[in-house]
Chain A
Amino acid sequence: DAGVTQSPTHLIKTRGQQVTLRCSPKSGHDTVSWYQQALGQGPQFIFQYYEEEERQRGNFPDRFSGHQFPNYSSELNVNALLLGDSALYLCASSTISGSQETQYFGPGTRLLVL
C-alpha cells in the first residue's frame, strides 16, 4: 500500500520565479492538505483540497494556490517567490472517519529560494 508521495524531493529557485510541487495521496484517501515547515518550527497549514475544490485555507497570501485532480492528486503553486518561502513543503492526505480526520504526511519537498 503506497503512502503519500511527493515530487520533487528538492528544488532550488530564484526570487520572483514560480514553482509547482506535486502530491499523490495515500490509497483510499480523497482529501489533500498542504503545510509549510520552516526550520525549527512546526508545520503550518496552507490549504486543503476536497472534491477538486479548496475547502479551507490558512493564513497564506494568494501567491500560494493549488489544484486537485479527479484522481485526488494535488499540486501546490507558489508565484513570485520570496526568500522567506524557503521551507519544507509537506503534503498530507486523509479521509473523514467519523467526525475526525487523521492526516498522513509525505516526505516533503525542500524548496530553497536564492
Chain B
Amino acid sequence: DQQVKQNSPSLSVQEGRISILNCDYTNSMFDYFLWYKKYPAEGPTFLISISSIKDKNEDGRFTVFLNKSAKHLSLHIVPSQPGDSAVYFCAASGIGRSARQLTFGSGTQLTVLP
C-alpha cells in the first residue's frame, strides 16, 4: 500500500522552461511535505517543504503547491537548468510520533535538455 505516489517515473524538459513534478498521497494524517533531489552516488538533498496549513511555498526557482482536498502536491522549477537533472523524491510525515518518519514516493527522473 503506497501512501505516497509519484506516477511519472521520468520527465524531460527544455532548458529555460518550467518543470512540474507531481505527487499524490492517500494518508490524510500527513501534514508536512518535503521534496528532495538526488544525484547518482549521493544522498538525497533537501529542496523545499510545505506545511499543511499552507497551499504554497516558494524558494528561488522552486515552488511547492499543496492541494489538501485532492491530496496532491507539485513542485515547479522555473526556469529549468541542466544542473536540475536528477531524481526528485516527494516525502511526507504526520504529526506527533509519526512526524518522526518520512514516507517517500518512488521518485521522478527529471532530465533538462540544453
A55 near B100 with CB under 8 A, answer yes
Chain A CB within 8 A of B110 CB: no
Neighbouring A residues of B93 by C-beta, 8 Å: 100-101
Name the residue in B93, B102, B105 with the highest tally of chain A Cβ atoms < 10 Å from its Cβ: B102
Interface residues of B in 96-112 (CB under 8 A from A): 97, 99-107
Whole-angstrom distance from the CB of B49 to the nearest CB of chain A? 6
Neighbouring B residues of A6 by C-beta, 8 Å: 43
A43 near B101 with CB under 8 A, answer no
Interface residues on B, range: 20 to 34
Chain A CB within 8 A of B29 CB: no
Beyond A40-B106, A41-B106, A42-B89, is A101–B43 a contact (Cβ under 8 Å)?
Answer: no
Whole-angstrom distance from the CB of A75 to the nearest CB of chain B? 17
A42 near B104 with CB under 8 A, answer yes
Whole-angstrom distance from the CB of A83 to the nearest CB of chain B? 21
Neighbouring B residues of A108 by C-beta, 8 Å: 42-43
Interface residues of B in 1-55 (CB under 8 A from A): 4, 32, 34, 36, 41-46, 49, 51
Count of residues in A whose CB is under 8 Å from the partner chain = 27
A102 near B34 with CB under 8 A, answer yes
Extra inter-chain contacts (11) besides given A6-B43, A55-B100, A90-B43, CB under 8 Å: A4-B43, A31-B100, A33-B101, A43-B44, A43-B89, A45-B103, A48-B100, A92-B102, A100-B99, A103-B46, A108-B42
Nearest 4 CB-CB pairings of A with B:
A42-B104, A105-B43, A45-B101, A56-B100
Residues of A near any B CB (own CB < 8 A): 4, 6, 31, 33, 35, 40-45, 48, 55-56, 58, 90, 92, 99-108
User: Would you list 23 pairs from A and B whose C-beta atoms are within 8 A, ordered by A residue?
Assistant: A4-B43, A33-B102, A35-B102, A40-B106, A41-B106, A41-B107, A42-B4, A42-B89, A42-B107, A43-B44, A44-B104, A55-B100, A56-B97, A92-B102, A99-B95, A100-B32, A100-B99, A101-B99, A102-B49, A103-B46, A105-B44, A107-B42, A107-B43
